[in-house]
A and B are shown apart, each in its own frame.
Chain A
């Protein structure tokens, strides 16, 4: 690529970037995929489908009520799952929820390890398939 071509690409890229940033301004979008303040807007998902949104939030609320498991235990499960599904909003929410409940950092970290152990176990148990396949294909 000669210098002229490079300059031409740079010009196109800059004008595209400007266009993209302007379009973000008009649509109220940030230029990162995760925006911490979006967590507060979670409830707004009902605006585009009230029936299903409401059903989801009713279900969600019921799941975390005291039951055969305590709300405290469910909060720790939610924290572990938040890490496994790698949801920054959920990690934010359930770290705060744990603090409110007086859950200690030792308990939180153990819960995350329980999630991580299952996740790595899920990866490793597939190696049996790899071993089977290896053996089958080998003389």
Chain B
């Protein structure tokens, strides 16, 4: 596995414009497959409009202790983009004003931002109903200064959502790096020990499953059953829900698809699995994504493709709910990833 980000390697796919070109050329340009826009038009679902804002998903920085093969953020230890306390304060002001009930913190490894704990504490003070942290698990065991994270999460009743591509070591390490599986198991045990993920516990611990290759996720309920059975019998680990997330064809996953000659077949699979019912509930309809430097996007994927919201308001400091709600959501062919099968979002399936 590569230990550097595409950006550090100066790979052409670190360029968002180049990614968007690839997603519009070839099979979509010669009309073998309909573009996402055409698909929505034929389904009478164009343009895609936002509903009530419920979730503010904040990317507090692209730095991460892992370099996963499928990462759509192109995160890694060499990424230095990091959110300042000033921008965090602007996010808190918006939450107070809008009543968005959920703050969803992502990265990179969000815990690596030195103001992460301050942000969580302030967010709970302003009355956010739920603070989610998207933790890669291994950060908890990576360094002594992170070992008390389970206690910190517990103190603020943070909802922990963690990645786990398979219940076997081989398949997990293949996607996320050598040693990741064992470190993740250790971290899950630490979370279980303070009460996270236990039956009936209000300390929510959910797992996210991304396929470790060029295939779509299977049935969420069946996979959850298999994960629970294997993690409990092999490691005595418990968790609440499993969310299946489809890998979107951008950034490092796009690089993998092209290099492994799976790109076209993968796009055919996504388009064939298009589900109009999933379109109604895609996460861009109730979520806004904020980048480390405060720009607004329809989702974390659009953030990585540098597709800012199509609105006169584009930065968190200028936030205006009414103006933003009138916008249309920016789309490209990567959006087929969220509308395939039972749909895909940061909370799993959407149908």
Contacts and interface: CB of A to CB of B under 8 A. Distances in A.
Interface stretch (A6-14, A50-58, A99-107, A126-134): A99-107
Interface string A77-117: 00000000000000000001001111010000000000000
Contact of A96 (B168, B171, B215, B226): B215
Contacts of B215: 96, 99-100
Interface stretch (B115-123, B189-197, B217-225): B217-225
B272 interface: yes
Contacts of A63: none
B contact patch SS:
loop
Contact of B211 (A40, A71, A99): A99
Interface string A15-40: 00000000000000000000010001
B217 A100 contact: yes
B268 interface: yes
A102 B222 CA distance: 10
A74 interface: no
Contact of B222 (A40, A99, A101): A101
A40 B226 CA distance: 29
B226 A102 contact: yes
Given A40-B272, A100-B216, A100-B217, A72 B168 contact: no
Nearest to A70: B222
B268 A102 contact: no
A100 B168 contact: no
> Is the interface on chain A under 10, 10 to 19, 20 to 34, or 35 or more residues?
10 to 19
A72 B222 contact: yes
Contacts of B268: 40
Contacts of A101: 218-219, 222-223
B134 interface: no
A40 B33 CA distance: 13
Nearest to B32: A37
A96 B213 CA distance: 10
A55 B272 CA distance: 21
A100 B217 CA distance: 5
B166 interface: yes
Interface centre among A40, A71, A99, A102 (most CB of B within 10 A): A102
13 contacts: A36-B265, A71-B219, A71-B222, A99-B211, A99-B215, A100-B217, A100-B218, A101-B219, A101-B223, A102-B166, A102-B167, A102-B223, A102-B226
* Closest CB pairs A-B (n = 6): A100-B218, A101-B218, A99-B215, A96-B215, A100-B215, A102-B226
